[in-house]
Amino acid sequence: MRLFRLWWHADRRRRPLEEPSGREGEAYFGFEPVSPAEKTARMIRHFDAVAPVYDAMNTLLSFGIHHAWKRQAVRMLGLRPGMRVLDVCGGTGDLALLAARRVGPAGRVLLYDINPRMIAAGLPKLRAATGGAAVRPVVGNAEEIACREGAFDAVMVGFGIRNVTRMRRAFAEMHRVLRPGGRLLCLEFSRPRWAWFRFLYDLYSFRVMPVLGERIAGSRQAYTHLPESIRTFPLPGELARLLRAVGFRDVAWRPFTNGIAVAHLAAR
């Protein structure tokens, strides 16, 4: 497989944005076509396996820069004391903790994730955090958020929307639970802008990351799926069109580190 062919063409990148109709092959686990139900089941098993080392592997594989991306992205959201914030696909709680410090003790932060083991892996740092709102963890599906309409001033999803089976439905749910004027932050990986940088990034992603995943996390497959899922994900302009289609306005984005990561912002 040639490295420059790993990034899907626009017509294939649009597939994750569409609603699976239930037929086989309409969802994707990395590059592999699977049924929507199978993708959901595989994602749960995937994060069950990596949960104990998830934070450490993120820091190792990104050389620690993911912390800077998250801090910048949450800063862009413009949170204020007393706000109500929902962190969808919140995992071990990095974004939730950053938000809690900004909304303060008078605010409220809900950490929402489908995988109990990911939430459990983040509980020690959630319990140790001080100086902000208490973060309440809830197990739930991003495609059916168990909160009332207009319940939140801000909704965040960081490096998790790629893993949702029905992405359009999840964004529609985020739109629903935002109050009018509330803001969405979606922080996600994307394609580097410079071709030479992209080539080096592909080499690292497909030659180095799986080896580190196997030796440190005990799962080569998990860290093969990660770069595959990034290369099937829509580019910023394509994701912006989806956000507008489900009702968001004032859609904008900002790339980090030559476009490896992108912060998408929108309002209800």
**Cα gap 41→63, rounded to integer Å:** 30
pLDDT of residue 87: 98
Q: Where are the domains of the chain?
A: 3-81+142-193+222-267
- At 180-215, the pLDDT tens digits run 999 999 999 999 999 899 999 999 999 999 999 899
**What's the pLDDT band for 34 if we cut at 50, 70, 90?**
confident
Could you tell me whether strands 178-189 and 261-267 are parallel, antiparallel, or unpaired per DSSP bridges?
antiparallel
Element (H, E) at 99: helix 94-103
Report percent pLDDT > 70 for the chain.
Answer: 91
Question: What CATH class has 3-81+142-193+222-267?
Answer: alpha beta
Structure tokens at 33: 């076509």
pLDDT of residue 92: 96
Report, as an integer, the average pLDDT of 159-171.
Answer: 94
**Cα gap 229→249, rounded to integer Å:** 27
pLDDT of residue 10: 65
Secondary structure (3-state) at 213:
helix
Instruction: Look up the pTM and report it.
Output: 0.92
Query: Phi and psi (nearest 5°) for 23?
Result: -75, 155
> Which has the higher per-residue pLDDT, 51 or 22?
51
Structure tokens at 173: 């749910």
Q: Is the dihedral of CA 171, 177, 181, 187 positive or negative?
A: negative
**What's the pLDDT band for 23 if we cut at 50, 70, 90?**
very low
pLDDT of residue 21: 41
- What is the 3-state composition of the chain as percent helix, strand, coil, each rounded to the nearest 5? 50, 20, 30
pLDDT of residue 93: 96
Element (H, E) at 57: helix 54-61
**What's the pLDDT band for 142 if we cut at 50, 70, 90?**
very high
pLDDT of residue 222: 84
